[in-house]
Amino acid sequence: MASMMRQTMERQSDELRRLHADTGRIEELAALLADRRVILIGTGTSWHAASQGAWLLHTAGIDAWALSSVDFCLDGQSARPGDVVVALTHTGAKRYTGRALERARATGARTVVIAGLGVEGAELETVAREQSAAYTASHLGALFRVAQLARALGADLGDLADVPEAVATAMASNLVPIEAPARLLEFIGGGINQWTAAEAALKVRETAYVAAEGLGVEQFLHGPSVALRSTDTLVCFDGGGPWTDRLTEVATAAQESGVRVEVVSAAELGEPLSIFPLTVLAQRIALELAEKLGTNPDTFGRDVPGREPWTAIQL
């Protein structure tokens, strides 16, 4: 039987078509964000979505920033009266995202919650709660909601109506199988897709239990690239635009030094919207690697012996 992760991924394009048709509160909430400082927060995969969401809102001229929820709570980072804090959450249950929202409201900031269907207090809903611990559809749903807000604020992102089909194409495409390397699976991306690389590494680790890292191409080049060896694999996410040349330069150098290199491209929608098909391809790398290795992508490692001490930590 197919994993819950695979079943969820197979319906992502349909979920996005549904969200594209559901614009009920988009204009209202976009007006709330206009001419304000916007802080997007999230944890784990939602932190990656917050970072890409800030990028999309910047495209609309919004003073948008991303903070992980725990940074917002513990490191003195805070909102000011008049700010809007946008929380991205799959289930509304994460410890520090809830605390961050409480802190934001106490300072007089406005809040907007983008969350799964039925989550209490959600101004914008995404998808029904996923049965797999490896969140996929809710991640794309949150990204799509922020893209809708950015588009309503005037961002030149391209046609959001093209996104669901691009996601379906990415799901059905012939993807070169990525084997588990002897040491490290390194993902890189440029611009908004540095967060796609980070999400790929997160997904690979939590589903296939393979050592992985995801970095921006320039951050990778200035230090981490020195440690790359022939026992590693480098995967480059190319969404087109100004980052293609730099990614090509790095990929060529890595290949010539004996590293296995795979370039995963999706430039048809333009760089900003490339995050949708490229994220699906990142999800597929993780899922297909888990399937090949025989790990369960749905359990967050709870079925792995010795994992028990980690369950005491509240997420």
> 276: domain CATH number?
3.40.50.10490
- Percent composition of the chain: helix, strand, coil (DSSP 3-state, to 5): 50, 15, 35
Residue 176 sits in the same domain as residue 137: no
pLDDT at 119 over 90: yes
Tell me whether residue 128 is in a domain. Answer: yes
Mean pLDDT computed over 130-154: 98
Instruction: Output 262-265 pairs: Cβ under 8 A, ≥24 positions apart.
Output: 262/176, 262/178, 262/233, 262/234, 262/235, 262/236, 263/235, 263/236, 263/238, 264/175, 264/235, 264/236, 264/237, 264/238, 265/238, 265/239, 265/240
Sheet of strand 260-265, all strands in order from the earlier edge strand to the far edge: 212-216, 185-189, 233-238, 260-265
Contact of 297 with 208, CB cutoff 8 Å = yes
| pLDDT tens-digit readout, 34-68 | 999 999 999 999 999 999 999 999 999 999 999 99
pLDDT at 161 over 90: yes
Instruction: Give me the pLDDT at residue 78, please.
Output: 79
Instruction: Give me the pLDDT at residue 75, please.
Output: 83
pLDDT at 283 over 80: yes
Domain of residue 198 covers: 167-293
Tell me whether residue 300 is in a domain. Answer: no
Q: Which two tokens stand for residue 262?
A: 């795979």
- Alpha carbons 157 and 148: distance in angstroms, whole number: 10
Instruction: Give me the pLDDT at residue 24, please.
Output: 93
Tell me whether residue 309 is in a domain. Answer: no
**Amino acid letter at 246?**
R
Give the residue from 128, 157, 186 where a domain finishes: 157
Residue 134 sits in the same domain as residue 184: no
Mean pLDDT computed over 278-287: 98
Residue 144 sits in the same domain as residue 12: yes
Give the residue from 103, 128, 157 where a domain finishes: 157
Residue 53 sits in the same domain as residue 128: yes
Residue 11 sits in the same domain as residue 94: yes
Residue 147 sits in the same domain as residue 175: no
Residue 134: closest CA among 308, 284, 305, 307: 284
H or E segment and range at residue 68: strand 63-68
| pLDDT tens-digit readout, 246-279 | 999 999 999 999 999 999 999 999 999 999 999 9
Tell me whether residue 45 is in a domain. Answer: yes
CA distances from 68 to 77, 80, 134, 138 (A): 10, 17, 19, 18
Tell me whether residue 313 is in a domain. Answer: no
Residue 130 sits in the same domain as residue 181: no
Instruction: Give me the pLDDT at residue 218, please.
Output: 98
Give the residue from 129, 157, 185 where a domain finishes: 157
Tell me whether residue 87 is in a domain. Answer: yes
Residue 253 sits in the same domain as residue 190: yes
Residue 25 sits in the same domain as residue 151: yes
Residue 100 sits in the same domain as residue 142: yes
Tell me whether residue 299 is in a domain. Answer: no
> To the nearest whole number, what is the mean pLDDT of the chain?
96
Residue 128 sits in the same domain as residue 251: no
H or E segment and range at residue 83: none
Residue 24 sits in the same domain as residue 114: yes
Overall domain count for the chain:
2
Instruction: Give me the pLDDT at residue 1, please.
Output: 84
Residue 104: strand, helix, or coil: helix
Which residues are CB-contacts of 262 (< 8 A; sequence separation ≥ 6)?
Answer: 176, 178, 233, 234, 235, 236
| pLDDT tens-digit readout, 83-109 | 999 999 999 888 999 999 999 999 999
Helical packing angle, 137-152 and 12-21, nearest 10°: 30
Tell me whether residue 267 is in a domain. Answer: yes
H or E segment and range at residue 9: helix 4-10
